[in-house]
């Protein structure tokens, strides 16, 4: 048996964001944009932040 949703998350989030300060919203958008760009950069480079991809390691050995 599943318990019904006790908190309407959408309504709660909407109310909190509507009453939030612009600084909070700006910080939330910045955090989201940074995470999105970091994930995209990781995908393009083929390695996570601070790691060396196999192709980059091979390229540096050939130079």
Band of the pLDDT at 36, cuts 50, 70, 90?
Answer: very high
Band of the pLDDT at 62, cuts 50, 70, 90?
Answer: low
Q: For the chain, report the end-to-end CA distance as a whole number of angstroms.
A: 64
Query: Any idea which residue has 């540096």 for tokens?
Result: 60
Q: Is 29 or 14 the better-scoring residue by pLDDT?
A: 29
CA atoms within 13 A on the CB side of 38: 9
Dist. CA 55–CA 46, nearest whole Å: 8
Q: Is 45 or 37 the better-scoring residue by pLDDT?
A: 37
* 6 pLDDT higher than 50: yes
Q: Is 3 or 44 the better-scoring residue by pLDDT?
A: 44
pLDDT at 32: 92
Dist. CA 22–CA 12, nearest whole Å: 18
């Amino acid at each position: 048996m599943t318990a019904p949703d006790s908190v309407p998350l959408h309504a709660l989030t909407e109310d909190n964001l509507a009453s939030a300060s612009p600084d909070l919203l700006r910080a939330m958008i910045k955090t989201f944009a940074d995470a999105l760009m970091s994930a995209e950069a990781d995908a393009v480079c083929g390695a996570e932040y601070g790691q060396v991809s196999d192709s980059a390691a091979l390229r540096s050995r050939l130079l």
